[in-house]
C-alpha cells in the first residue's frame, strides 16, 4: 500500500528512529550502526523467545539488519520504525521455522499444534507444582516456569504476546507486523493471555508463601 506524503511526514516528525532510517537511506553508516545498537538486544531477545535458541536468534537478528540495509533505498516511513523492523523480523522468524521444520531440526520451542501447543505433561506438572502450598517460589524456578508457559503458546500467540508485553506495540501495530486485522489480534491476545493464566496462575497463587 502506498504511503501518503503526510503520513511519511508525520512519522518522520514523531519517530527519531524513522529519521535515523532516512539517514541510512542516504548511506549514512553511523546512523545504521546507531539503529543497530538501539535494537540489537531487543531483537535478539524477541527472536530468542520466538525460536527458542540464542545462537539462532543472533543469526536471525543479523539477517534482519541485513534486510533493513538492503531495503534502505526503498524505505518510505509508512509506520513507526519499530513496526517496520518487527514486520521484517516476523517474516525472518517464520521462514526460519519453516526451514527448520523442513530439515526436521530439533527446536527447543514447542511445535504449534493448537491453542496450547506445549507438552501437556509439562503443563500438567507445572500446574500441579503450583498446588503444593508449602512450596517456596524461587526466582529462577519462576523464570523457568514462565519460559515454559511462553513456549507452550503457539507461534502467533507468542509473537503477539512478546510484541505487546515487551515492545509495547498497540493492537493496530501488532496487526500490521503480523499482517492480521486488529480484531484478530484482540482475540489472539485474549486467548494467549487466558492460556498463560491457566498455566501460571495456580503456580503464582499457591506456589508462593502466603502473604499474611
Partner 1 sequence: MNNQSSSDDQTRQLEEIVAYLDGELSPQESAQVERRLASDETYRQKLQGMQRAWAALDELPAATVDDQFAQTTLELVVKTARSDVEQRTQALPVQRRRQRISTVLLVTAAALLGALVFRLAWENPNRALVADLPIIQYIDIYSQFHDVEFLRQLRQHLGAGHWSLDADAEQPTDHFDQFHLVADAEKRQAWLDTLEVDERVTLRAKFNRFRSMSEAQQDRLRALHQQIESEPDVIELQQTMLEYQQWLNDLPPSKQFELRETPRQKRVQEVVADVQSVDRSIELTPEELQRLFRAVRPYLPEMRERTRGGMPRRVPGRNMQDRRELLRVVHDALPEEKREQFDRLTPEEQWQHSMGWLRQARLRESDRRRPDQVSEQELEEFFVEEVDAATKEELLAMPRDKMQHQLRQLYRGNLPMRGWGMFGDQGERERGRRGPPPGMRERRGPHRFPEGPPRPPPGERPPN
Query: Residues in the site for partner 1, rule: CB under 8 A?
Result: 15, 17, 27-34, 36-38, 40-42, 44-45, 48-49, 54, 57-58, 61-62, 65-66, 69-70, 80, 82, 139, 142-143, 145-147, 149-150, 161, 164-171, 173, 186-187, 189-191, 193-194, 196-197, 199-201, 204-205
Please return the burial class of 75, using the count of CB atoms within 10 Å of its CB with bins 0-12, 13-18 and 19+.
Answer: middle
CB atoms within 10 A of CB 42: 16
Q: 40 or 107: whose CB is closer to partner 1?
A: 40
Q: Which is nearer to partner 1, 100 or 184 (CB)?
A: 184
CB of 119 to partner 1, least distance (A): 19
Residue 98 CB, nearest approach to partner 1 (Å): 22
| Beta bridge mates, 116 | 153
Is 76 or 202 the residue whose CB approaches partner 1 more closely? Answer: 202
Of 35 and 101, which CB lies nearer to partner 1 in the complex structure? 35
- The 10 Å Cβ neighbour count of residue 115 is 14
Give the C-alpha separation, 15 to 13, whole Å: 6
Separation CA 175–CA 171 (nearest Å): 6
Residue 10 or 54 with smaller CB distance to partner 1: 54
d(CA 206, CA 204): 6
How many residues does the structure list for the chain?
Answer: 212
Which residue, 14 or 101, is less far from partner 1 as judged by CB?
A: 14
Q: What's the closest the beta carbon of residue 107 comes to partner 1, in angstroms?
A: 18
**Of 180, 177, 124, 172, which is closest to residue 148 (Cα–Cα)?**
124
Written as nine digits, the cell of 130 is 503450583
Least separation in angstroms between residue 1's CB and partner 1 is 21
Minimum CB separation of residue 123 from partner 1 in Å reads 14
Q: How far is the CB of 35 from partner 1 (least distance, A)?
A: 10
Q: Name the burial class of residue 85, with classes exposed (0-12), middle (13-18) and buried (19+) by CB atoms within 10 angstroms of its CB.
A: buried
Amino acid at each position: 500500500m502506498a504511503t501518503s506524503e503526510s503520513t511519511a511526514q508525520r512519522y518522520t516528525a514523531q519517530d527519531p528512529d524513522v529519521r535515523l532510517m532516512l539517514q541510512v537511506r542516504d548511506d549514512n553508516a553511523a546512523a545504521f550502526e546507531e539503529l543497530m545498537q538501539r535494537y540489537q538486544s531487543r531483537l535478539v531477545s524477541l527472536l530468542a523467545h520466538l525460536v527458542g535458541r540464542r545462537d539462532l536468534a543472533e543469526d536471525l537478528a543479523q539477517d534482519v539488519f541485513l534486510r533493513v540495509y538492503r531495503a534502505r533505498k526503498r524505505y518510505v516511513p509508512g509506520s513507526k520504525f519499530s513496526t517496520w523492523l518487527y514486520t521484517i523480523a516476523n517474516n525472518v522468524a517464520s521462514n526460519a521455522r519453516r526451514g527448520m521444520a523442513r530439515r526436521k531440526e530439533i527446536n527447543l520451542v514447542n511445535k504449534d499444534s493448537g491453542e496450547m501447543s506445549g507438552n501437556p505433561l509439562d503443563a500438567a506438572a507445572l500446574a500441579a507444582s503450583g498446588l503444593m502450598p508449602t512450596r517456596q517460589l524461587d526466582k529462577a524456578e519462576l523464570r523457568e516456569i514462565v519460559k515454559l508457559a511462553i513456549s507452550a503458546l503457539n507461534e502467533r500467540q507468542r509473537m503477539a504476546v512478546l510484541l505487546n508485553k515487551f515492545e509495547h506495540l498497540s493492537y493496530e501495530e501488532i496487526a500490521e507486523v503480523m499482517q492480521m486485522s486488529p480484531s484478530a489480534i484482540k482475540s489472539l491476545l485474549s486467548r494467549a493471555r487466558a492460556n498463560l493464566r491457566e498455566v501460571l496462575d495456580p503456580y503464582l497463587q499457591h506456589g508462593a508463601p502466603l502473604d499474611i
